[in-house]
Amino acid sequence: MNTANITINEELRSFIDPLADIEYAALERSLRLEGCRDALVLWNDILIDGHNRYAICRKLDIPFKTVQNTSFSSIEDVQLWVIENNLARRSVSDYQRGVLALRKKDIVAARSAQRAGEPDKAQDDAAPEAEGPPWSTREDVAKAARVSSNTISQIERIQRAATPQLVEAVRAGTISINAAANVASLPEEQQRAAVAGGRKELQQAAKQVREQKAAGRPKREVLADADVEAAGDDLAKLRAQIGALKDRVASLTTENTVLKQRIGRLDGSAPE
């Protein structure tokens, strides 16, 4: 396949969480040993599935095949397809699932507005069943993302006010969604300084924001928010540990498969 005929859509690629270092290394080893067995999926010249494999194959000059998905009529169809694929994956973080669900809401809302302005085509252009619920409330979005409506509200605050550095810290799991939503209320310079200071500095910044907000609120509400924040940080740590274990299992599984294949080749070539 001529790589000059493949276009990378940056918005589509942003829908996909970057691989952890150990995941990337495992995928690279697999491609070196076995080649690229699964075809990359294209819509016209746009790559819609297989971004990591494509990058590694180009770097290592590994041949690959492509297949066309011709079921889409617009880039919005492609975006919804990619979003649905990623929402279904367990490895996608809560933050990224929330971002994807909110993006789907925007796409569905834009389509609904467009159909409302074209009454003659309203029936023909009815939204596909894959779009699911009406997506008119935060609860709809939260259900699709498998998080609470409060978490969706926090993600919206992060999207509105967080610096790129703070967003990356959330994506990397350095700071919880709850804490990041608090830090996002700070001026951009303070956000960048907190991120540069690492996890402890981010937690301290979030704590200061919470204390400022708590100054004029009833004690019962303050205690409840503190419990939620502590639970959010603990959950983030547990999920990070689980993610690391999953990465290790994936790496060991790949190595086990390769070893079995080598043993099978040795057995097949041994004299009877």
Question: Over the stretch 213-255, which tens digit does the pLDDT of each residue have?
Answer: 877 666 555 555 556 555 655 665 666 667 667 767 766 776 6
Average pLDDT, the chain: 82
Torsion of CA 209, 212, 217, 219, to 10 degrees: 80
Phi, psi of 47 (to 5 degrees): -75, 125
The answer to whether 37 touches 44, Cβ cutoff 8 Å, is no
8 Å CB contact between 166 and 158: yes
> Is the alpha carbon torsion for 31, 33, 36, 38 positive or negative?
negative
Query: Which of these ranges, 107-116, 139-148, 192-201, 245-254, has the smallest mean pLDDT?
Result: 245-254
pLDDT for the residue 223: 52
pLDDT of residue 191: 95
Of the pLDDT bands very low, low, confident and very high (cuts 50, 70, 90), residue 175 is very high
Q: In what order do the strands lie in the sheet with 66-68?
A: 46-49, 40-43, 66-68
pLDDT at 269: 47
- How far is C-alpha 65 from the geometric centre of its chain's CA atoms? 25
**For the chain, domain boundaries:** 1-70, 74-147, 162-248
162-186 average pLDDT score: 93
Q: In this predicted model, what pLDDT tens digit does every residue of 82-129 receive, in sequence order?
A: 999 889 887 788 999 999 999 999 999 888 888 777 765 544 544 444
3-state secondary structure 61-94: CCCCCEEECCCCCCHHHHHHHHHHHHHCCCCCCH
More confident residue, 257 or 97: 97
Confidence band of 271 (pLDDT split at 50, 70, 90): very low
